[in-house]
């Protein structure tokens, strides 16, 4: 049985760079857990503006990889 999870984690307003990195690391770790269980999609980290990101499972990213995308 194949399991597909629609996962998108919003990382909003951050206090500083250290806070941004910590929150992104946490979101990627969660996404990595789901990606590993699913075994077919990678992780896409999208920057929407200076301090707003999403972390999502993506068909556009091969399993086992994490890619970054600038969308601003």
Per-residue pLDDT tens, the chain, 72 aa: give them.
Answer: 456 678 999 998 788 889 999 999 999 999 999 999 999 999 999 999 888 899 999 999 999 999 999 998
d(CA 49, CA 29): 22
Tokens 């200076």 sit at which residue? 50
Please provide residue 40's backbone torsions phi and psi, each rounded to the nearest 5 degrees.
-140, -15
Contact 9, 32 (CB under 8 A): no
Q: What is the pTM of this model?
A: 0.88
Q: State residue 67's pLDDT score.
A: 98
Strands 41-49 and 52-62, sheet pairing: antiparallel
* Secondary structure of residue 4 in the 3-state scheme: coil
């Amino acid at each position: 049985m194949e399991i597909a999870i629609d996962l998108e984690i919003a990382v909003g307003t951050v206090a500083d760079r250290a806070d941004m990195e910590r929150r992104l690391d946490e979101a990627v770790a969660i996404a990595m857990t789901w990606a590993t269980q699913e075994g077919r999609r990678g992780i896409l980290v999208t920057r929407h503006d200076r301090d707003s990101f999403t972390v999502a499972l993506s068909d556009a990213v091969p399993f086992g990889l994490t890619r970054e995308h600038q969308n601003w």
